[in-house]
Amino acid sequence: MPWNGIDPIVVSSQIVMALQTIPSRQVDATKTPSVVTIGSIKGGVRGNIIPDEVEMEGTIRTFDQNIREQLHERIKRTAENIAASAGATAEVSITQGYPATINDPALTNKMTPILQRVAGEGFSEAGPVMASEDFAFFAQDIPSMYYFIGSAPKNQPAYTNHSPKFVVNEDALPMGVAAMTALVLDYTQSY
């Protein structure tokens, strides 16, 4: 009978909901945006059987390493305490992911006019983006600049590359090649 056991589906649901309040209620939202996402939940094999366990996977996004560390600690504490309140246990494993990708200000100031020249009216400056990129490791050691080439089909929504609705307008590829070529030529002529 259900009352004779611990339902990890219910416990995991409570954990997911509680994790959503961490960025908005437990860290200073005025310092940097933060997001905690549970993107995968696996548990059970039949609709009428309470499973032994549930596995959840997610991601954490923020621009600030100190906030990231606070999120790690609070996620662990929240999951363990909610599980304990139901008589369950939670094993929390957080892998250090990618750091924030931050453009070098001097390099970006130098390269932006080149992108403006190549793209013309198609150029626009994007605000901070919570992309998760291994490029960030390079940017920590070498002055770097990360930029996007817009490839959304004309007159259609621009879905992100992780969306099942993502479509690349291949007409944007020549612009990408021209932008990269101009950046490389200007950079190498400067040194």
159: annotated active-site residue:
no
**What angle in degrees, to the nearest 10, is found between the helix axes of 8-19 and 65-85?**
150
Catalytic residue among 98, 146, 147, 187: 98
Confidence (pLDDT) at 132: 77
pLDDT number for residue 18: 97
CB 82 within 8 A of CB 7: no
pLDDT for the residue 87: 96
pLDDT of residue 17: 97
Nearest by Cα to 46 from 6, 9, 89, 92 = 9
CATH topology of domain 2-85: Alpha-Beta Plaits (3.30.70)
For residues 126 and 26, what is the distance between their CA atoms, to the nearest angstrom? 28
pLDDT category of residue 1 using cuts at 50, 70 and 90: low
> Is it the case that residue 114 has pLDDT exceeding 90?
yes
pLDDT in tens, 123-145: 888 878 877 788 999 999 999 99
* Residue pair 43/55 in contact by the 8 Å Cβ criterion: yes
Ranges of each domain in the chain: 2-85, 105-190
